Structure 1
Amino acid sequence: MSTQRVTAKRGIVQDALHRADGFVSAARVHDLITTAGTRIGLATVYRQLNALAETGEADTVAHPSGQLFRACTAPGEHHHHLICEDCGTAADVEPPDESWIDQTAADHGFVVTRHVMEVYGVCAACR
Structure 2
Amino acid sequence: MAHPAHEDTVNLVKEIFRSYLKERNQRQTPERFMVLEEIYTSDGHFDADDIYFNMKEAGQRVSRATVYNTLDLLVECGLVQRQQFGKSQYYYERAYAYQQHDHIICRDCGHVLEFCDPRVGEIQRMLSEIHDMNIDGHSLHFFGSCQDKEACERRQEAGSKIADLKE
TM-score (structure 2 length as normaliser): 0.54
2:93 matched residue in structure 1: 70
Using CA pairs below 8 Å that are at least 6 residues apart, which structure has the higher relative contact order?
A: 1
Aligned length: 124
Residue 66 of structure 2 corresponds to residue 44 of structure 1: yes
Once the two structures are superposed, residues 46-83 of structure 1 have per-residue CA deviations (whole angstroms, 9 ceiling, x without a partner) of 111121122221122112151111223xx277823225
Matched, 1:4 2:20: yes
Partner of 2:156: none
- Whether the aligned pair in 1 keeps the contact of 2:124 and 2:135 (CA below 8 Å) is no
Alignment pair present for 1:27 and 2:49: yes
Q: CA deviation at 1:18?
A: 2.4
Larger relative strand fraction = 1
| Cα contact 1:79–1:94 (8 A) shared by 2 | no
1:91 aligns with 2:114: yes
User: Structure 1 residue 82 and structure 2 residue 103: aligned?
Assistant: yes
> How far apart are the structure 2 equivalents of 1:37 and 1:99?
46
Report how far residue 20 of structure 1 moved: 2.9
Structure 1, unmatched stretches of 5+, are none
For the pair shown, which has the larger CA radius of gyration, 1 or 2? 2
Give the distance between the partners of 1:15 and 1:123, measured in 2 at CA. Answer: 35
CA RMSD of aligned residues (A): 3.4
Quote the residue 2:5 is aligned against.
Answer: none
Distance 1:24 1:88 in 2: 12
Structure 2 CA distance for aligned equivalents of residues 87 and 18 of structure 1? 22
Pair 1:38–1:97, CA change in 2 (3 A): closer
Is 1:54 aligned to 2:76, yes or no? yes
Determine the C-alpha separation between the residues in 2 that align with 1:17 and 1:115: 22
Q: Any idea what SS the aligned residue of 1:50 has?
A: helix
Percent identity for Structure 1 against Structure 2: 17
Structure 1 residues 52 and 90, CA gap change in structure 2 (3 angstroms): farther
